[in-house]
Chains A and B, each alone.
Chain A
């Protein structure tokens, strides 16, 4: 094993938390049963890493095996790094009938045509998602494995999720994906976050949605608190209405975990009390950013508790309705 492979394995071992180590090594299945048993998982991690390095050398494992290990780890824990959502546009006739082997061949062929030194690994996960790991090199250097790009695509859907791609490689990746999936182009869905499951759920509308009804009945509470007959709420209807509107805009139950919503303003300044800034021709540029550990949950609470006025402004509800969290607002609308 050469130095760069050893470094890759050491870096990877540092990343994987100790509790998951055993399960991931089991899944990897490149070490024999006796080898795995010989590893003592109660030792400190650096001791374990040395031991593992020795075992890999014995078994003659190479870079491609280590990258497989990394891929298994990332597939198990996808919610790290920054994921970006993309949408494929204008499907051609045979796009819905693409199946796995065809996609794999096409993608590998396209990408290796564009860049000769790439390392590509494609894997199909149990939930029908295709995971692709790409390590980029260029015409003169070998692929650099310490900064790989991961792509997740669900076949027959027009959505692609990418993490770790630089602006240099993005157009190449886009082109390879577009050709392999038989669409005509790919655009940025303007949705990004740390949590892959959240982004996927939001784009593919897989969270619990609430639809407006003509005859609203109050939303069933999960644990109805026994009401004391002596205590009565005067404005209970208002509270229910607010809760209903909040859930219509953002969803019910556990919401996808978004961290940020960014609104880039390119509107003219409008405030009659400030004469110097109002009435200028150029737009007043500003950026409004909402950040939270779970943004949709916070916004839903703001609306249901009355902090944000109802009906919910379309600026906020378009986060869920359009599935994006980056908006550019001009004077003519979003």
Chain B
């Protein structure tokens, strides 16, 4: 199995690399453009993929990935399933602060609430943060990019006194024990 390993390569100087994984390949392009534009002090490289495992041909040229973001569109069950199957191809070392989940359409009425619950449970079991984003407006994309950059810089070790593991204990998703009985009155 070709696992993606977090520490098998050397880091670059003042560089942070983020991998955006999205089944639909729509939001990741907009997010990538915004992330690269927003960040001026650090050299940010964005890699886009549809799912894991990543092709072997790029193995040599691929830099060390500091943060893997799974973009899940709650309107599609396939999006969630594709993210779940991709998780198997990540080395367990990533789950200490180098993985993040990003969901869209969390406020959409037509989305079954069970899906968000399953994503939350998944994120909580892996100790990863869960971000909600709005992908239709530029402000939504900018906000999401901003938050991802904050997590990315910590995960890449560019923020003094903070590590990914430390940040993830603060930001990781938690699920209240009565979430299955929750109804939003």
Contact = CB atoms under 8 A, between A and B. Distances in A.
Interface of A: 228, 230-235, 237-239, 305-306
B25 A230 contact: no
Contact of A230 (B44, B54, B57): B44
Contacts of B32: 228, 231
B47 interface: yes
A123 B34 CA distance: 59
Given A305-B24, A305-B25, A306-B50, A235 B55 contact: yes
Q: Which has the most chain A C-beta neighbours within 10 Å: B24, B43, B48, B54?
A: B48
A217 to B, nearest CB: 17
A234 B36 contact: no
Contacts of A228: 32-33, 36
B58 interface: yes
A224 to B, nearest CB: 14
Given A228-B36, A305-B25, A234 B43 contact: no
A235 B56 CA distance: 10
Given A305-B24, A305-B25, A234 B33 contact: no
Contacts of A232: 45-48
30 contacts: A228-B33, A228-B36, A230-B36, A230-B43, A230-B44, A230-B46, A231-B32, A231-B33, A231-B36, A231-B45, A231-B47, A232-B45, A232-B46, A232-B48, A233-B47, A233-B48, A233-B49, A234-B48, A234-B49, A234-B55, A235-B49, A235-B55, A237-B57, A238-B50, A238-B55, A239-B25, A305-B24, A305-B25, A306-B23, A306-B25
A235 B43 contact: no
A306 B24 CA distance: 8
Interface residue tally of chain B, by bracket? 20 to 34
A230 B45 contact: yes
A234 B46 contact: no
Contacts of B24: 305
A190 B93 CA distance: 58
Contacts, number: 45
Interface in B1-34: 19, 23-25, 32-33
A235 B36 CA distance: 20
A143 B180 CA distance: 72
Interface string B47-88: 111100011011000100000000000000000000000000
A253 to B, nearest CB: 22
Contact of B47 (A234, A237, A239, A306): A234
Contacts of A235: 49-50, 54-55
A238 B44 CA distance: 25
Contact of A231 (B46, B58, B62): B46
CB-CB nearest 10 A-B residue pairs: A234-B49, A231-B46, A231-B32, A233-B48, A230-B36, A234-B54, A230-B45, A232-B47, A235-B50, A234-B47
B48 A231 contact: yes
Contacts of A237: 55, 57
Contacts of B48: 231-234
A236 to B, nearest CB: 9
B74 to A, nearest CB: 17
A306 B25 CA distance: 10
B2 to A, nearest CB: 12
A308 to B, nearest CB: 12
